[in-house]
Amino acid sequence: MIKSQGWDWKIVKEDKTSIWKNPSMESFYLLNRWKSQNKECFLDLGCGLGRHSILFGKNGFKVSCLDISEESINRTKTWAEEEKLTFDYKVGDMINLPYSDNSFDAIICMNVISHTDTEGIKKAISEIERVLKRNGECYLTLASKDTWGYKRENWPKVDENTRLLMLEGPEYKVPHFYADYNLIQELFVNFEIIDIHQIVNYYPHEDIVNESYHFHLLIRKR
Ligand SMILES: C[S@@+](CC[C@H](N)C(=O)[O-])C[C@H]1O[C@@H](n2cnc3c(N)ncnc32)[C@H](O)[C@@H]1O
């Protein structure tokens, strides 16, 4: 298994307008869904700067934040304290989660789980299964094989599904696992798959990358 490597958030400036400081559109649906299901214990897995931790914390959830990057956890904590919110914080690796079995009702793992290779993703998925309670739900995204990164023949290949990303920036040389629909069915065979959709994001103002494709999954532990 490739060594885990998080984002280098130190080179990402604080910017209130950035996507990493504003909850994703999907998270508002999930907030509504999980509140109506009386879910309480929430894990922001690979929390980044904490945009989903803050949203769920402000709405009464008991929030745990985990990221492999210490900078990410420090910045999430600073933001939460400004908002007068108290969370549980852990610097840790998604392939070996520092939580007991059956700890969480709900997990968001947005743009995180693809940051490993094929062996690592299997381990991360088994960890999500372990820490979710029965009937607990997880929303996660996976980079798609339709996206530009997978097609970069000159980027180092780690295994048949994984390449190192070679663009300068916070995820330079971070492994990226790319999935397709059949692979997803295999990887999540132990879960009930509630929904899968593939989203294309367009970045009209970027020079190098103009679009990216991700699968979004909502899964439930049986
Ligand atoms: C694209 S950012 C997304 C952050 C956040 N989920 C969000 O949607 O704003 C990916 C995050 O995953 C973290 N990460 C990467 N590999 C990880 C691992 N093995 N274990 C835990 N976190 C990891 C990175 O450090 C980074 O903060």
The total number of residues shown for the chain amounts to: 222
pLDDT band, very low/low/confident/very high, at 207 (cuts 50, 70, 90): low
Over 90: is that where the pLDDT of 151 sits? Answer: no
Q: What is the 3-state secondary structure (H, E, C) of the chain?
A: CCCCCCCCHHHCCCCCCCHHHCCCHHHHHHHHHHHHCCCCEEEEECCCCCHHHHHHHHCCCEEEEEECCHHHHHHHHHHHHHCCCCCEEEECECCECCCCCCCEEEEEECCCCCCCCHHHHHHHHHHHHHHEEEEEEEEEEEEECCCHHHHCCCCCEEECCEEECCCCCCCCCCEEECECHHHHHHHCCCEEEEEEEEEEEECCCCCCCCEEEEEEEEEEEC
Q: Does residue 20's CB lie within 6 angstroms of at least one atom of ligand 1? A: yes
C-beta of residue 136 within 8 angstroms of C-beta of residue 222 = no
CB of 111 within 6 A of ligand 1: the answer is yes
Q: Are 188 and 219 in contact (CB under 8 A)?
A: yes
Nearest to 126 by CA among 213, 212, 196, 219: 219
Cα 34 to middle of ligand 1, angstroms: 22
Phi, psi of 135 (to 5 degrees): 70, 5
With tokens 């929904």, the residue in question is 195
Average of per-residue pLDDT across 195-201: 95
Distance from the CA of 177 to the center of ligand 1, in angstroms? 14
Q: Does the pLDDT of residue 206 top 90, yes or no?
A: no
**Residue 80 token pair:** 């939460």
pLDDT at 22: 97
Give mean pLDDT, residues 85-96.
98
Task: Establish whether residue 71 lines the binding site of ligand 1, counting it when its CB lies within 6 angstroms of any ligand atom.
Answer: no
Give the nearest ligand 1 atom to 124 CA: 19
pLDDT (average), residues 171-177 = 93
- What confidence score (pLDDT) does residue 167 get? 87
The closest-lying atom of ligand 1 relative to the alpha carbon of residue 72 is 27
- Residue 72 CA, ligand 1 centroid: distance in Å: 8
Residue 202 identity (one-letter amino acid): Y
Residue 108 has pLDDT above 70, yes or no: yes
Stretch 182-195: mean pLDDT, rounded? 97
Whether the pLDDT of residue 199 is over 80: the answer is yes
Pairing of strands 62-67, 41-45: parallel
- Specify the pLDDT at position 149: 83
CA–CA separation, 182 and 185 (whole Å): 5
- Residue 114 pLDDT more than 90? yes
Asked if the model's pLDDT at residue 208 lies above 70, the reply is no
Taking the CA atoms of the chain, what radius of gyration do you get in angstroms? 17
Mutate to test the pocket of ligand 1, among 91, 115, 117 (most ligand atoms within 8 A of CB): 115
Whether ligand 1 lies within 6 angstroms of the CB of 120 is answered as no
**Contacts of 171 by beta carbon, 8 Å cutoff, 6+ apart:** 7, 8, 115, 165
In this predicted structure, what is the pLDDT of residue 210?
72
Average pLDDT (140-153) is 91
Which residue lies with its CA nearest to atom 25 of ligand 1? 6
Cα torsion at 82, 84, 85, 90 (round to 10°)?
50
